[in-house]
Structure formats: C-alpha cells, structure tokens
C-alpha cells in the first residue's frame, strides 16, 4: 500500500461518514460505496474516482432538486432519495468490477478506464434525465409506442430529459478527457451515455413494467451497456 494513496483512503472514509450523517446513503450503502470508490480508484486512478464522485454529486443533487414538488406529483423516490446498497451497486457496480480488472491486469487499464467512463456516463444520463426530465419535460412519450403519456411510469421519456441526460454524460466525458491528457475518446463516452440511457428506458417499458426485473437490475444493465458501447466503438475506430 503506497503512502500516496492515504489521502484517497481518508477521502473515502470521510465521504462514507458524511453520506451516512446526511442520510444520502444507508450505512451498508455507504460502506459499499467506499469499496466501489476504492476499486474505481485502483483501476482508474484519480480520474476514475473523480468521475464516480461527480456522478454521486450530480445524482444526489438531481434527486433532491425540488423534492417537495416531486413528492406532490408522486414521482419522488422513497425515503427522500436515500440510496440503498442495491442502488449503489446498480449504478457503480460495473465501474467497480472494471476497476478491479484494470487493477489486476494493468496492461488493459486504458481500455477498461474508457469503459468505466462509459458506465458512469450511462448512470449519470439516466439519473439526470429521470429526476430532472420529470420536472422540466413538456411532453412525455412511451419509448416503445411513442404515444403521449403522463410522467411517472417506467419507460417514459421527454426531449428535455434526454438532452439533460446527454449533458450529464458530456460532463463525465470532459472529466475523462481532462484526466487523461485531453483524450480524443470523449465523443464515445457521450454516445455510450446516451445509448445506455435509451436502453434503460426500453428495459423499463418492457421487462420492468411486466415486473420481470427490478429497477436496480435495469440500472445495472444500463451501466453495462454504456461500458460495452465504449468497448465496441473503441475497437471499431481502432
């Protein structure tokens, strides 16, 4: 264990404690989040950890934005948006797994770090489009039938929410580009976030509505899709 890692461990422990005190995460979710952060850091370095923290800040902020209005409309998350262990793994589990692989196989780290960015871009796009699209969207559509529908049910999208989600993915991409010497892969990350978000909506409108899978599984598959798109596009370009 290198001494230059100590500030990161202190940061993760502090973040874990603050997230419990502020009721952003349950106790077990906070511990899980610290483990996720550790693995993302070991595989993705400071840039990987920064992308993860950015997702958490943006996601928490979007969840709590105009919370009273969401509660009145019946679209707010339960427990005032306090995240559970399942939700932490659903959004950060793929990034943690990729980070662990990059740590174990450092010669593949560059590719895996791009995939980490794709998974977090998809998670960010989904969270922002869901939480803010329900507030700022003007017209809502079923992602499968494109029929107009009221906000709330799984698989409902809006133009405003989709654009907000793409903006969130772009922030993750900019963080990746800045951290890795302004890498040219930023556009891939944005595409991965957008496709992952769309995939999430399709799963929500089909499998989740039929209660074949839960929301946590939908979100996990969303992040896996984001990572997979980054891998495929990188291989295609190369």
What tens-digit pLDDT sequence spans the chain (238 residues)? 566 788 999 999 999 999 999 888 899 999 999 999 999 999 999 999 999 999 999 998 888 776 667 666 555 555 555 789 999 999 999 999 999 999 999 999 999 999 999 999 999 999 999 889 888 888 898 899 888 888 777 888 999 999 999 999 999 999 999 998 777 789 999 999 999 999 999 999 999 999 999 999 999 999 999 999 999 999 888 7
The SS3 of residue 25 is: strand
DSSP 207: I
Using CA atoms, how far residue 144 sits from 170, 190, 205, in Å, is 25, 23, 7
Please give the pLDDT value at position 134: 82
- Helical spans, DSSP H, in 105-214: 109-136, 159-179, 186-203
Integer CA distances (angstroms), 50 to 148, 155, 162, 174, 236, in order: 38, 30, 24, 11, 27
Measured distance CA(103)–CA(88) in Å, rounded: 21
Which residues does 50 contact at the CB level (< 8 Å), separation at least 6?
175, 179
32 Cβ neighbours under 8 A, 6+ residues apart: 85, 88, 89
pLDDT for 72 equals 61
pLDDT at 43: 96
Number of Cβ within 10 Å of residue 227's Cβ equals: 26
């Amino acid at each position: 264990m290198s001494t230059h890692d100590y500030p990161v461990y202190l940061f993760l422990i502090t973040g874990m404690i603050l997230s419990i005190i502020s009721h952003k995460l349950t106790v077990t979710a906070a511990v899980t989040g610290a483990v996720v952060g550790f693995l993302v850091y070991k595989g993705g370095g400071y840039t990987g950890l920064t992308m993860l923290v950015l997702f958490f800040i943006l996601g928490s902020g979007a969840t709590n934005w105009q919370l009273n209005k969401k509660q009145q409309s019946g679209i707010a998350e339960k427990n005032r948006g306090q995240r559970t262990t399942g939700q932490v793994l659903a959004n950060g589990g793929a990034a943690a797994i990729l980070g662990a692989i990059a740590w174990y196989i450092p010669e593949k780290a560059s590719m895996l770090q791009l995939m980490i960015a794709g998974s977090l871009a998809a998670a960010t796009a989904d969270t922002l489009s869901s939480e803010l699209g329900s507030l700022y969207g003007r017209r809502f559509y079923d992602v499968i039938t494109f029929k107009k529908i009221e906000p709330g049910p799984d698989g409902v999208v809006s133009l405003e929410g989709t654009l907000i989600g793409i903006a969130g993915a772009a922030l993750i991409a900019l963080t990746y580009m800045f951290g890795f010497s302004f890498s040219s892969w930023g556009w891939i990350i944005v595409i991965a976030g957008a496709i992952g978000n769309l995939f999430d909506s399709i799963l929500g409108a089909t499998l989740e509505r039929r209660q074949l899978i839960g929301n946590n599984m939908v979100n996990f598959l969303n992040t896996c899709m984001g990572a997979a798109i980054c891998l495929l596009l990188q291989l295609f370009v190369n």
